[in-house]
Structure 1
Amino acid sequence: MVKRFSPALFVFCASLVVFSACKGGGGNDGGSCSTEACNYYHECPNNQDCVSGCCQPSIRCLQDSVCKPGGACLANPGPGCLTLAECNPVTECGKLVPCVEGKCREDLSLDLPCNNTCQNNSDCPSGTHCRLDGSEGKCVMDGLCTAKAECADLPHADCVGEWKCLDGRCDYCERRCVKLCLHDTDCPAEASCIGGLCEKYPADVFAALTAPPVDHDFTEKKPLRVGIADVPLQFPVGISMAGYGARVGPKTPYSCTLGGSDSMWDRPRVKAFVFDNGKKRIAIVKMPIGWSDDFLASHIAWRLHQATQENYLDRLILSAPHSHSHPGRFWNVLREKKIGVFGHGDFNFEMFGRHTQAAADAVLAAIADLRPAKVSWALNPAMDPERKVHRDRRGSDFNPIDDSLVLIRIDDMDGHPRGLLVNFALHGTHLDGTTVSQDAPGGVEVIAQQNLQELTGYPITLAFISGTSGDVSPAGDDSPLGSDDWGKIQEVGVQSWPKILALYQSLEGQGTSDVELDMGVRRVPVGREQLGYGPGVFRDEQGNDYEYGAFSCVGMDDDDPNTKYQDGALGCIFSADALSGGRPVRQFTMARFSIARIGNLGLVSLPGEPLGKYSRDICQKFMDAGIEYATTFGYSQDHHFYLMDADSWLQGGYEPSMQIWGWAEADYYATKMKEMFAGFMSQGGTVDNANLKPSWFEWINDTVTPTTTSAADAGKIVSDVPATMERFGMVRLRWIGGHPGVDLPRMTLEKKVGDVFEPVKNRAGQVYSDDGFTTMTWYRGNYQDNHTWEISWEEGIRFPAGTYRIRIEGRYQDAQGAQPYTVLSGAIDFGVSTRLRINGLALDNTSVSATVFYPPAPTTDDGHSAFSELRATGYLRHNGAVPAYLPWPVPADGSVKASVTIQPPSGDPVVLADLPVNTSGTANVTYVSSRTSTGEETTRSVSLPSSGFATDHGAYRGAGNYRVTVEVRDAFGNTGTISQSFALE
């Protein structure tokens, strides 16, 4: 590792290239032209570019490098050439549609896989050939030259129609250098900068998203009203999940460079909280998504405008819990380059639209729910000193994580609870498989909401809002024996619950309806000039400046605080240009963030994954400006990866390696945010977009067409549930449903009351459903002619006995569209467990003792079938001390009672009743670890934490055989029994 980075590298150089001087291939400065006037480069002749509103001579070129810095080599879309509305011969026209003579030819669509790699022509379908590019080839259409090496050997006749082979591509026209735009300010007023080119912005969208905010004519402060809504995300099982690069999974119509999903655990939900005090209206929206994005916010606001004719864009605070197992393919960054393999999944408009529709629906429902309310908030500055919930995952920068817990409680006017926002640092990284889940943040949200509803009897809506989560990892894995990921997720929720409850109870009666609300929003341009990088600063090993950023720099941790990475030796794997084809990436050249207040609590929305010190420093500046306390909403409003100060970035490691713009980027955002605080507190919130437009991209219909299910088959049971089930058991149901494009079946539970089945509800009146951890839903079909679904259901220690059935509501596709169907399972006689395990029963002349365990969760061992490895097959957490496939100790508090009957060699039996199980320790437990098809078993022994009893018995009658029977019963009616003989002397 090299010596500490020199501060001189932060000095701005006056000779920095200013991209805006050339107006980015378009733009009129209002002056006069000696040549033809223009707004866009394609309005000029073949050999000219549009510079400062005038067509001017340009350099002819064959490749982008000739046009650097700040330019690209482009053909002129004029007569006989491509226009912006037509396709590029080397760019996909949507999925599997080739571009021929500037037109997308759906009639020539190829049934090629997304990763259509090949080694020779025999690997490709008919009508295509294998074009080798290095060690890997790709199947391309015959008659289209697309590679320089191939084109050099092809006569012009091998190109389609009138095209010629120029610069290794079939094209109409020679190319010339065009100055690229970097920001919207480099473009005409009616255009935005997309991929370095100015594109006209839809006038109706622009008018809607730049109109005065919804509360612009709110003038009189009134008592607070709050509306709350909870809307499930309608996503297709099969979708790729965002969070991990190169994620494996099934190939589905909803996956591409990342593997797809095959199941859903805790159902993802959008939760919206709208606050209105008569002067301001602010909507906080928790989206079940990996991160927020400016395009997401714009599209949600557009949907809201279509429904209300009001502009909510600068009154929306989006926040993502950042589970690495949330549905992906929502981030429109370099869509055509298919770089989703890095972890977010290739962008898909259908999935993006599902997210924005659910969010808009939630906000609209919350607006409709607006009613008088009181609000209060509380802080625990050190919620988890034991590190049972979250841990520091970045020790190399020597800064502590943010361990604060903030609650925002919403009550009705009578003080009854309605909603709760839970804000602290947490990362959702336990799962990495094929199941869609909210991961550890869901563990917090689901368990706390369920517990609060049972505790209060009110249908409280709780949302987890991620905080400064960039340098934390989830805990929940304290068991020395290990735990599966399902258990860890729930353990995080269990461990956080007492902290949440204590802070929640401290707010009892503290709510007020006299609340100040305000919000300020800022967009800022991002680039070398803004970050203060002069020529030769932020460069590669050869001295080349990273023009549009770089990726995977400073990847090695440095544990010595006296040494840092040095510019020119940052170890970046590649520049951003390498990903973008030499063009700036809109998402990396602009950032959006916001600040807000609810009473005297400040909310700082950071556009990425902030680290603890970075976040607290910004919040402290808000507090210095006069707010009582400020907290962070992470993954909020926009996304620029991990956010940390320059010193931490130069220390290196995974987190800084995921940034684009180097050490100065996050400090630039911090400076711009800090500039907002004083004016916000003294004059109120403002909107400063710096003439940058809300992100917007032309919509492409890439919706998967669902295949049909016959009406006769829809809802037909394939495999029904068993007739009986005990606590700690599991049942499964299979049925025929619909294509995942229309069907995400919803399970509810019904209980027989008299002669009818009624919905099971909790104390708050909420229907028992698949929103929690007691069910797992799989799609078992093939997306074509088989749409089989399956669900498992399990329950725990205290669920009431009775007769139940599973109800499924879903949709299937027929010729007329989506149609509903219903499945009703057979009746399940659900009872208490009779499998409590009595272990280590011992008898001597004076005393009797044993340890008592609850049975394992469902495992691969059903007691008789062959299995190769003992593992849990269920998903519900029962105890955090031992793995789910092993027995776990009953409470040692005396709530479990034992009854011991000892039959001596002669005389009456001795009965010892109601013995409390109140000792704790460890015990050796033997279990079957595998079984062959012939019944041969292998066993193992393990030391487990235990609970037990020991007592004198007074039953000794001399030497002989003693028969001991032990029965145990817990406080919920679960039982177990054992009989064993002992020979005493």
Structure 2
Amino acid sequence: MMLASLPRAALALSLTLALACGDDSGTVPMDDAGVPDAGPVDFGPVEPANTDHCGYADLPATARAGGTVEEGAVMAGVAEMDHRFPVGAALGAYTGRARALGFGAPPDGRREALAGGFSPSIGIETRNSAKAIALSAGGETVVLLKSDVGLADAAITHAVEERLEEATGESFAGKVVWATSHSHSGFANYTSNTVLYLGLGLKRDVVADQVVEDLVTVAQAALGGMQPARVGIASNAMFDQEDRVTRDRRGENDELMGGPAKDDFLVVLRVDAMDGTPMAIAPVFGIHGTILGEDNLLNSTEGSGAIERAIEESFDSPVVVMHLQGAAGDVSPAGSGGIACPDKPCYNFAKIETIGRYARDAILTTWMDAGEALEDTLAIEMVTRSVPLGPDWETFTVRDGALEYAPWDRRTLPDRELYAEDGSTVLSPIDEFNAPYGAGLCGGERPYFPGAEIRGTGGTPYGSCLHLDRAAETFGNVLQIDMVQMPACAATRLTLSALKIGEWSFLTAPGEPVTLWARTVRERAPAGADRTVVIGYAQDHLGYLLTVEDWLLQGYEPNINVWGPLEGEYVMEQLLALAPLVETPEREDATMGGTDRWVPGPVDASDLDAIDDAPLAGTLEETPWDQVYVRGQRVLTDSQPEDIRRLESAYFTWIGEDPRTGTPDVRLQRFVDGEYVDIERRSGRPVRDRDLLLTWTGDPLVPEEGEGQTHHWAIEWQAVTWLGLEGLEDLEDRVGVPTGSYRFHVEGTGYSLDSDPFDVVQGEILLEASYADGTLSGRATFHAPEGWRLLHLTEQSNGPIPANGTVVIAVDRAGTLENIEVELATDGTFTVATADGIDAITLTDRFANQGTLSF
């Protein structure tokens, strides 16, 4: 989750003003050293903060506990489906999308009650997927689930387990892994963790319930399709050394890491049917989902989704590709090219696509390696445990008691001594983190919010920390979210899992593991570093996971955790205490060493209006409403698409359903053999997103309470080759989308529509040329200044892009033509020998795109 610098400054100002207007009981006089001058006072025994406002329930015993781990024939099932999030919900996970901050404001000023105090989403670039891999062997059955959202939530993880038992009659207690992509442009409003409302908006039960429903549905589909299978796992410990896919973003800990370092440990889980047909591929490595910024309000699966799509279209049939996060906490996406964005919002989906193109070959190479390790008989075991967190400071004692917190009384002043004389050994007990209800926005040395800071810590790595209980009400008022009573109940428990598949151990990290933290886990895990895989952003979410020394180096990452520098190592030790259970021959009940879990209650939704009946759904307007939003806020004068050249865009608009009842499924069709048919990618999937942009606009943009809306939908397609167009997969082929007649087909909620047909014709090549002394030289380019699709790996795709390949130059001299065939240089330039007296030239590429230049 990101608190971008500008929103953070604005939030700081808002909180400062709000806190300044209250009483000053949280402030005391400071001496010259910045330490309160009041001496210590004995107030009696210190007790942890009260959690009576939190409701807890015991975890059911681990399913199938008490037996023996045995090898058995492998069965596997896979499935995928769209997550059914409503457009209009908020996107996670940028605080800058909070409406009060204004950095991610909708370009048309719309508001939507569903998003609460956050900007509403306005459409879809790529649809959120729910994916499932079910594995069974030796009497054990486990389900791996993945969602294209910002982070996991234990309430959803456990709800899915319970619902699966209800649906199947079989216990799945402790046998479900729910992992997430950590896209910062994925639908939100589902987490029950009130601290995380700061990045994902308030919880809407209607959204969270739908997430559970989708995960249960896709899990059941995978379980219902189980068949004999083989599983193989392989790794590459030197993934992406060129930093084309990812890059290290945390320079503060370079000394601890021995220099800049990132998560370069790639693991690929391969599942094949017995006849060799690929069923599933699960690459694991860390990459943040932050190519797009807070100004983007179109749902996108970001880099993780681009990786999945690139691999999917390497096969001739549907294969479930499930990218699982590794140590992405301090790993940014790299990529290249993209588009120039002089204005906001910046829809740089082109750069996202480069991530997938760069990652694909290395992942497929490791997938091939996994083919050498395929086994049809395996032992599988999985355990899950809930562990306590705050508000008891003694919980966080780590390193066999060598590090602990001093009691959290909020009154005792710190000694401000962090390290021993050697300058590296952290002193204990730590009395600087004196935050009975937790603290956030640490990582700096000065207090951002006077009145909410931890007293006496100015000038230390704790100086910017703020007491969550003192800031919660103000956060809520400024961001229009209800943060309720502190400590946050979700921050008092944490769900962890360990999964053993053959010789490999998969450990879930319930937050954002940084590279050093994940490496330490792997090095200390009983399966060994080369056979241990950390799956980040899975099962639950607490914040960034760092070692103590790393946390104290400050920087961005310590901003987002609740229980200070010992939190990350405590989680690590609890995970490492769980890991040995899957290494023994017994099937243990992992709940015996844990605690109960928090059970969230319903959230007030009285501010939501009733869903519109949308009686006009399925209606076409001759002239669309002038405020229908499409990329660039282009005003459309016709609801129907017009004939276009290659690289130009076609648009179609219609009146449809309230997005809370469903999302229209729009497909691109082409006229083939006398009829319009869905265009399919190489994998057999239809062209329905990634190549198409779907947007929604409600009329009025800001409805009054109880006022209904007319729901306008629009689709845009830029005429370039779609992902998975067999034979034309290379970027050099993007300008060669087949010409002919196309249309859009819409399946809505209770209606279907077809647009008018439109033709795609050859594209225009721009020419610059000169000739002298028998030499003709020049440059051929394409230019789509309003485009958004990727056309080149390194150039900006909405700027001049070099033409490529073999071309024919027709030289016109007073009506006499001379055809010259030439291979263009990589920058689109050419030089040919020809006689003088040229009147004009026409250059034609292999796709019949043309450009003409007169002299």
Q: TM-score range by the shorter chain?
A: 0.7 to 0.9
Aligned to 2:821: 914
Query: Structure 1 residues 600 and 148, CA, compared in 2 at 3 Å: closer, same or farther?
Result: closer
Encode CA deviations 1:355-401: one digit per residue, 9 max, x unaligned. 11111111111111111111222212122121111111110111221
Contact 2:244–2:334, Cα closer than 8 Å, also in 1: yes
Contact 2:646–2:760, Cα closer than 8 Å, also in 1: yes
Encode CA deviations 1:837-876: one digit per residue, 9 max, x unaligned. 222x1211221122122x233x4xxxxxxxxxxxx3x432
Calculate the TM-score normalised by the size of structure 1: 0.68
Aligned to 1:897: 807
SS state at 1:196 partner: coil
SS state at 2:550 partner: helix
Please say if 1:290 is aligned against 2:166: no
AA in 1 matched with 2:385: R
Aligned to 1:975: 849
In the TM superposition, what is the alpha-carbon distance from 1:148 to its structure 2 partner?
15
In the TM superposition, what is the alpha-carbon distance from 1:550 to its structure 2 partner?
1.5
Please say if 1:494 is aligned against 2:351: no
Aligned to 2:311: 448
SS state at 2:365 partner: helix
In the TM superposition, what is the alpha-carbon distance from 1:692 to its structure 2 partner?
2.1
Structure 2: segments with no counterpart, 5+ residues: 1-13, 26-45, 98-103, 398-403, 415-430, 447-456, 473-482, 625-637, 721-733
Encode CA deviations 1:228-265: one digit per residue, 9 max, x unaligned. 11121111111112211141334202112222211111
Contact 1:374–1:410, Cα closer than 8 Å, also in 2: yes
Aligned to 1:775: 693
SS state at 2:751 partner: strand
SS state at 2:201 partner: coil
SS state at 1:512 partner: coil
In the TM superposition, what is the alpha-carbon distance from 1:552 to its structure 2 partner?
1.6
Please say if 1:405 is aligned against 2:281: no
Aligned to 2:618: 714
Query: Structure 1 residues 685 and 695, CA, compared in 2 at 3 Å: closer, same or farther?
Result: farther
Structure 2 CA distance, aligned partners of 1:360 and 1:672? 28
Structure 2 CA distance, aligned partners of 1:199 and 1:439? 36
AA in 1 matched with 2:94: Y
Structure 1 CA distance, aligned partners of 2:661 and 2:524? 48
In the TM superposition, what is the alpha-carbon distance from 1:465 to its structure 2 partner?
0.9
Structure 1: segments with no counterpart, 5+ residues: 1-117, 119-131, 138-146, 150-178, 183-192, 558-564, 812-819, 860-871, 921-945
Aligned to 1:232: 82
In the TM superposition, what is the alpha-carbon distance from 1:443 to its structure 2 partner?
2.0
Mean CA deviation greater in 727-736 or 775-784: 775-784
- 1:155-234 matched pairs, under 5 angstroms: 195-197=51-53, 199=55, 201=57, 210=60, 213=63, 221-234=71-84
Please say if 1:724 is aligned against 2:643: yes
AA in 1 matched with 2:324: I
Aligned to 2:710: 786
Mean CA deviation greater in 461-470 or 244-253: 244-253
Please say if 1:274 is aligned against 2:162: no
SS state at 1:487 partner: helix
In the TM superposition, what is the alpha-carbon distance from 1:136 to its structure 2 partner?
7.6
Query: Structure 1 residues 769 and 257, CA, compared in 2 at 3 Å: closer, same or farther?
Result: same
In the TM superposition, what is the alpha-carbon distance from 1:536 to its structure 2 partner?
5.3
Mean CA deviation greater in 250-259 or 895-904: 895-904
Aligned to 1:111: none
Query: Structure 1 residues 727 and 504, CA, compared in 2 at 3 Å: closer, same or farther?
Result: farther
Please say if 1:835 is aligned against 2:774: no
Encode CA deviations 1:325-370: one digit per residue, 9 max, x unaligned. 1111222134xxxx66621211221111111111111111111111
Structure (1/2) with the larger strand percentage: 1
Please say if 1:847 is aligned against 2:800: no
AA in 2 matched with 1:896: T
AA in 1 matched with 2:776: V
Aligned to 1:418: 279
Please say if 1:592 is aligned against 2:460: no
SS state at 1:848 partner: strand
In the TM superposition, what is the alpha-carbon distance from 1:581 to its structure 2 partner?
7.4
Aligned to 2:322: 463
Please say if 1:388 is aligned against 2:244: yes
SS state at 1:210 partner: coil
In the TM superposition, what is the alpha-carbon distance from 1:715 to its structure 2 partner?
4.0
Aligned to 1:531: 396
In the TM superposition, what is the alpha-carbon distance from 1:910 to its structure 2 partner?
6.0
AA in 2 matched with 1:828: F
Structure 2 CA distance, aligned partners of 1:785 and 1:479? 36
Contact 1:376–1:409, Cα closer than 8 Å, also in 2: yes
SS state at 1:292 partner: coil
SS state at 1:900 partner: strand
SS state at 1:835 partner: coil
Structure 1 CA distance, aligned partners of 2:246 and 2:409? 34
Percent sequence identity over aligned pairs: 22
Contact 1:540–1:572, Cα closer than 8 Å, also in 2: no
In the TM superposition, what is the alpha-carbon distance from 1:509 to its structure 2 partner?
5.9
In the TM superposition, what is the alpha-carbon distance from 1:300 to its structure 2 partner?
1.6
AA in 2 matched with 1:950: T
Residue in structure 2 matching 1:694, options 590, 594, 597: 597
Structure 1 CA distance, aligned partners of 2:411 and 2:340? 47
Encode CA deviations 1:260-314: one digit per residue, 9 max, x unaligned. 2111110111111111114211111111221112111122222222212333230
Contact 1:180–1:583, Cα closer than 8 Å, also in 2: no
AA in 2 matched with 1:769: R
Please say if 1:512 is aligned against 2:375: yes
SS state at 2:95 partner: coil
Query: Structure 1 residues 753 and 649, CA, compared in 2 at 3 Å: closer, same or farther?
Result: same
Aligned residue pairs: how many? Answer: 718
Aligned to 2:183: 323
Structure 2 CA distance, aligned partners of 1:821 and 1:357? 24
Aligned to 2:840: 964
In the TM superposition, what is the alpha-carbon distance from 1:627 to its structure 2 partner?
7.8
Please say if 1:254 is aligned against 2:104: no
Aligned to 2:748: 810
Contact 1:222–1:278, Cα closer than 8 Å, also in 2: yes
SS state at 1:651 partner: coil
Structure 2 CA distance, aligned partners of 1:510 and 1:402? 23
Structure 1 CA distance, aligned partners of 2:180 and 2:199? 16
In the TM superposition, what is the alpha-carbon distance from 1:225 to its structure 2 partner?
1.3
Structure 1 CA distance, aligned partners of 2:127 and 2:615? 27
Contact 2:338–2:350, Cα closer than 8 Å, also in 1: no
Please say if 1:547 is aligned against 2:436: yes
Structure 2 CA distance, aligned partners of 1:180 and 1:721? 68
In the TM superposition, what is the alpha-carbon distance from 1:744 to its structure 2 partner?
0.9
In the TM superposition, what is the alpha-carbon distance from 1:884 to its structure 2 partner?
2.9
Please say if 1:657 is aligned against 2:559: yes
Query: Structure 1 residues 627 and 686, CA, compared in 2 at 3 Å: closer, same or farther?
Result: farther
Query: Structure 1 residues 288 and 200, CA, compared in 2 at 3 Å: closer, same or farther?
Result: closer
Contact 1:715–1:822, Cα closer than 8 Å, also in 2: no
Structure 1 CA distance, aligned partners of 2:651 and 2:111? 25
Structure 2 CA distance, aligned partners of 1:661 and 1:969? 62
AA in 2 matched with 1:621: R
SS state at 1:358 partner: helix
Contact 1:415–1:511, Cα closer than 8 Å, also in 2: no
SS state at 1:682 partner: coil
Aligned to 2:302: 439
AA in 2 matched with 1:422: P
Structure 2 CA distance, aligned partners of 1:490 and 1:768? 16
Structure 2 CA distance, aligned partners of 1:529 and 1:415? 53
Query: Structure 1 residues 148 and 199, CA, compared in 2 at 3 Å: closer, same or farther?
Result: farther
Please say if 1:879 is aligned against 2:784: no
Q: Which has the larger radius of gyration?
A: 1
Structure 1 CA distance, aligned partners of 2:83 and 2:309? 16
Calculate the TM-score normalised by the size of structure 2: 0.78
Structure 1 CA distance, aligned partners of 2:614 and 2:119? 29
In the TM superposition, what is the alpha-carbon distance from 1:479 to its structure 2 partner?
7.4
Contact 1:274–1:370, Cα closer than 8 Å, also in 2: yes
Structure 1 CA distance, aligned partners of 2:244 and 2:192? 36
Aligned to 1:369: 225
Residue in structure 2 matching 1:952, options 809, 833, 842: 833
AA in 2 matched with 1:590: R
SS state at 2:838 partner: strand
Mean CA deviation greater in 283-292 or 529-538: 529-538
AA in 1 matched with 2:659: P
Contact 2:268–2:366, Cα closer than 8 Å, also in 1: yes
Structure 2 CA distance, aligned partners of 1:627 and 1:133? 49
Please say if 1:522 is aligned against 2:385: yes
In the TM superposition, what is the alpha-carbon distance from 1:674 to its structure 2 partner?
2.0
SS state at 1:237 partner: coil
Aligned to 2:37: none
Aligned to 1:822: 752
Residue in structure 2 matching 1:616, options 519, 524, 537: 519
